[in-house]
Chains A and B, each alone.
Chain A
Amino acid sequence: MASTPPSRRRFLALSGLTALSASLTAACGGGEPGAGRAAGGKVTLAWWNIATTEPGKSLFPQISSAFTAAHPQITIKTTSLENEAFKSKLTASTSAGRLPDVFQTWGGGVLRQQVDAGLVEDLTDAFGWSSDLTPVSLQAYQFGGRTYAVPYDVGMVGFWYNKKLFARAGITAPPATWAEFLEDVGKLKAAGVTPIALAGKEKWPGHFYWAYLAMRVAGLPALQQAATTKDFTSAGFVRAGAHLKELVDLRPFQTGFLGAGYSTPGGQAATMGNGKAAMELMGQWGPSVQVDAGADLGADLGFFPFPAVDGGTGQVTEVLGGGGGFALRKGAPKEALDFLKFFVLDNESKLLASNGYLPVVKGAESRIADANRKAVADSLVRATGFQLFLDQAYPPAVGQEINDSVADLIAGKRTPEQVTESITEAAQGA
């Protein structure tokens, strides 16, 4: 992102918004049609979100009804769907070329495809208040310097670990390098502790390892470059795979991990929450899913960033993550963006207090009470680089191939070279 002084951008944005909100307040003021607005300017917004579980399940409707109460001429028709159902439904709507006015997006390759198909509104000019948000939170939705969605949540992946089990294995401090990490895995095994919980059935948790190793060894620019040259066969990526193989060869995962789900009974989160494994590599949602599927580790739970790799170009402060945002359909009513501003800025404290989302507004991280969420938020604030989850950053065909071939590597069915070859093949075919 170009670093123009925020004050100026903010001023421009504010002036634009005051023009907009003037008409709005006029409209709801005396019930008379405002200047420049047609009589009876009723607006209906179709809003698709994925808030089917708490806290969003009760918070999202609260926010939308607060908004419509303040703007009676606007009606919001909400559709809440579970993640996978949402993706299927949105795929179908995308194919038909008819998207809802406001819809959940994770950015990256999927959003890019929708943008390229001319289905998504370019928000850049109307979205001056983006300067109030952390740059990291916006990155997943920006292509070629244009912004296509408003984030409401951002997080990152790191190691969640069980302090008690680490202590039992005689490990005093979390590992800072990959070599130390492998050593600690050995110590945990020697102490009779399963070092790592992994959901082999779902594949995406496994892709975090390869993605982070690629970031640490080959570096962020290499990952971005590979996306454009469609060539993942460089030595850095092969070495990333080789490092992952070093870990796999230690057999660090729980029994039957290849068939294990993530949040299902007996899956990765339950194994971790029930204290049957010492760590998991997971996003900021990790602790809440542990509580849901297993038990609350409480003060025994700690967080450390993915270790650095000796001889690699990447920094330990570069993070792999992602979040949630809302994009607008091309030609959606301009009130939709007002709604998003209300949602993100005016309700930031509610989103934070709900314990389900991490802040996208600058400076909000200092208000987090929970130690683990604070650790994640602090890492994000200090991040010197950000990479969106690879299975979302790249076109879906490439992302899924990364998941698939890394899963094969973890199962011992593919070599590091074969992984890079099949990802390259998918990238060139996509």
Chain B
Amino acid sequence: MPSPVSTLTEERTQDTPPARPPAPARSFLRGVRSWASVAWFLVPALVLFLVFVLAPIAVAVHTGFFKWGGAGPMEDFVGFENYARLFGDEVFLGDLERGLYLIALSLTVQLPLALFTAALLNRRLRGRAVYRMLFFAPYVLSEVVTAVLFTMILLPGDGMADQLAGRLGLEGLQGRWLADPSTVLPTLFVVMTWKYFGFHMMLFLAGLQSIPGEVLEAAAIDGANAWQRFRSVTLPLLGPTIRISVFLSVIGAIQLFDLVWVMTAGGPNHSSETMAISMFQFGFKRYQVGYASAISVVLFMISLVFSLFYQRYVLRRDLSGAVTTGGAR
């Protein structure tokens, strides 16, 4: 080691051993002890994870290979028949399409809106705390409460939405919001946005506040205008937040259930059905538990594959040390 710096460290390491008690037996014991304490802390979480996460997944995968009505012994092994049926089912293929539609809208409308609001509320503005609270408040409500609330707003005739549409000269929309296959999905998306954009706005606000003012100031001194500062400084520095926000949005859209179940139950004519709703319909309404399990397995695989790929390729820089990067730093 030729460099003086490393010499310094060498000296230092040479210094340390005497300070440390050298007894190997004790350090082995200490190793065991620390392992024991790690295990001790890990066991409860691990047991819960096994019993409530891994075991149900295993059971669902197993059940998915059977034709089973939920009662009596599971005997009718059908292999991949449930899966074959699944990918020939118009409603299920529609579920996938509707999922993509909602994801696309979330990414192109909801997130930009959240970012825009966050950028506005990050400036010096009278009463910005109030605005922040107002926009965030819907996120605090449960999905079911939100759904009931909007069911009232969207009631044909008396509902606020119809009254507003009447005032605005949009009579064509009256009474159709949740009742027309062509309007139901956009309507649901508006409700989702109302509920979730505040949450993403909060994420973006936190991200914006971690951007040092000096960088923006330097850009301003260099002559960058507001748009250039946003485009070339703020946006790149906000990268990690945006990537997480996109991730949460996509997973949320894939697993969407409560809101839709309460508002439309997937109707009219399956036009707002999601994968989770199809799964519930077959499992708890038609008692085709095997088939429903197959749906849940596909739902799980889609979420899993998406998460792994997203973490591996998109969140790579943000998640050093994660499984998907092979533990690399």
Residues of A within 8 A of B (CB): 87-88, 91, 94-95, 97, 110, 113-114, 116-119, 200-203, 254-261, 264-266, 395-397, 400-401, 407-408, 411, 413, 430
Q: A256-B175, A259-B178 are in contact. Are A400 and B281 (CB under 8 A)?
A: yes
Which residues from 272 to 286 on chain B have a C-beta closer than 8 Å to any C-beta of chain A? 281, 283-286
B269 adjacent to A413 (CB under 8 Å): yes
Q: 1/0 contact trace for B142-186 toward A, CB 8 Å?
A: 000000000110111111000000000000001111111100100
B94 partner residues in chain A, CB cutoff 8 A = none
Q: List 24 A-B contacts (CB under 8 A).
A: A97-B71, A113-B70, A113-B72, A114-B71, A255-B156, A255-B175, A256-B155, A256-B156, A258-B178, A258-B180, A259-B177, A259-B178, A265-B152, A265-B155, A266-B151, A266-B155, A266-B156, A395-B69, A396-B286, A396-B287, A400-B281, A400-B285, A401-B286, A430-B288
Q: How far is the CB of A421 from chain B (nearest CB, A)?
A: 14
A117 adjacent to B267 (CB under 8 Å): no
B71 adjacent to A116 (CB under 8 Å): yes
Q: How far is the CB of B149 from chain A (nearest CB, A)?
A: 11
The chain A residue with its CB closest to the CB of B281 is A400
CA distance A234 to B93 in the complex (A): 30
A258 adjacent to B157 (CB under 8 Å): no
A202 partner residues in chain B, CB cutoff 8 A = 265
The verdict on B264 contacting chain A, using a C-beta distance below 8 Å, is yes
The verdict on B201 contacting chain A, using a C-beta distance below 8 Å, is no
Known: A200-B179, A266-B151; 5 extra A-B contacts, CB below 8 A, are A87-B284, A110-B287, A256-B157, A257-B179, A259-B154
Q: How far is the CB of B159 from chain A (nearest CB, A)?
A: 7
A200 partner residues in chain B, CB cutoff 8 A = 179, 267-268
How many residues of B are in contact with the other chain, CB < 8 A?
35
Interface centre among B174, B176, B269 (most CB of A within 10 A): B269
The chain A residue with its CB closest to the CB of B85 is A429
Q: How far is the CB of B145 from chain A (nearest CB, A)?
A: 14
Residue in contact with A266 in the complex, picked from B158, B176, B286, B289, CB distance below 8 Å? B158
Residue in contact with B265 in the complex, picked from A94, A110, A201, A400, CB distance below 8 Å? A201
Residue in contact with A94 in the complex, picked from B70, B181, B184, B285, CB distance below 8 Å? B70
CA distance A117 to B70 in the complex (A): 10
CA distance A113 to B286 in the complex (A): 12
CA distance A396 to B281 in the complex (A): 11
Residue in contact with A407 in the complex, picked from B151, B156, B269, CB distance below 8 Å? B269
A201 adjacent to B268 (CB under 8 Å): yes
The chain A residue with its CB closest to the CB of B283 is A91
B155 partner residues in chain A, CB cutoff 8 A = 256, 265-266
B265 adjacent to A397 (CB under 8 Å): no
CA distance A411 to B158 in the complex (A): 23
B265 adjacent to A95 (CB under 8 Å): no
B177 partner residues in chain A, CB cutoff 8 A = 256, 259
Q: A113-B287, A264-B151 are in contact. Are A259 and B184 (CB under 8 A)?
A: yes
Kindly list the 6 A-B residue pairs having the minimum CB-CB distance in the complex, ordered from nearest: A256-B156, A117-B72, A259-B178, A259-B179, A256-B179, A258-B268
The chain A residue with its CB closest to the CB of B288 is A397
B73 partner residues in chain A, CB cutoff 8 A = 117
Q: How far is the CB of A186 from chain B (nearest CB, A)?
A: 22
Q: 1/0 contact trace for B180-195 toward A, CB 8 Å?
A: 1100100000000000
B286 adjacent to A397 (CB under 8 Å): yes
CA distance A116 to B174 in the complex (A): 50
B156 adjacent to A411 (CB under 8 Å): no
Which residues from 18 to 33 on chain B have a C-beta closer than 8 Å to any C-beta of chain A? none
Q: A255-B156, A397-B286 are in contact. Are A260 and B179 (CB under 8 A)?
A: yes
CA distance A97 to B179 in the complex (A): 40
CA distance A265 to B184 in the complex (A): 19
B268 adjacent to A116 (CB under 8 Å): no
B72 adjacent to A118 (CB under 8 Å): yes
CA distance A200 to B288 in the complex (A): 24
B152 partner residues in chain A, CB cutoff 8 A = 265-266
Residue in contact with A116 in the complex, picked from B72, B283, B286, CB distance below 8 Å? B72
B174 partner residues in chain A, CB cutoff 8 A = 255
A259 partner residues in chain B, CB cutoff 8 A = 154, 156, 177-180, 184, 264, 267-268
The chain B residue with its CB closest to the CB of A265 is B152
Q: How far is the CB of A93 from chain B (nearest CB, A)?
A: 10
B286 partner residues in chain A, CB cutoff 8 A = 396-397, 400-401
Q: How far is the CB of B228 from chain A (nearest CB, A)?
A: 47
CA distance A395 to B71 in the complex (A): 12
A396 adjacent to B268 (CB under 8 Å): no
B156 partner residues in chain A, CB cutoff 8 A = 254-256, 259-260, 266
CA distance A264 to B264 in the complex (A): 12
B287 adjacent to A91 (CB under 8 Å): yes
A95 adjacent to B184 (CB under 8 Å): no
B281 partner residues in chain A, CB cutoff 8 A = 400
The chain B residue with its CB closest to the CB of A266 is B155
A88 adjacent to B284 (CB under 8 Å): yes
The chain A residue with its CB closest to the CB of B267 is A201
Interface centre among A88, A257, A258, A260 (most CB of B within 10 A): A258
Q: How far is the CB of B212 from chain A (nearest CB, A)?
A: 50
B179 partner residues in chain A, CB cutoff 8 A = 200, 255-260
A91 adjacent to B72 (CB under 8 Å): no
Q: How far is the CB of B211 from chain A (nearest CB, A)?
A: 45
B264 partner residues in chain A, CB cutoff 8 A = 201, 259
The chain B residue with its CB closest to the CB of A261 is B151
The chain A residue with its CB closest to the CB of B156 is A256
Q: A110-B287, A256-B175, A265-B151 are in contact. Are A408 and B69 (CB under 8 A)?
A: no
CA distance A201 to B263 in the complex (A): 9
Q: How far is the CB of A22 from chain B (nearest CB, A)?
A: 37
A397 partner residues in chain B, CB cutoff 8 A = 69, 286-288
CA distance A411 to B94 in the complex (A): 18
B184 partner residues in chain A, CB cutoff 8 A = 259
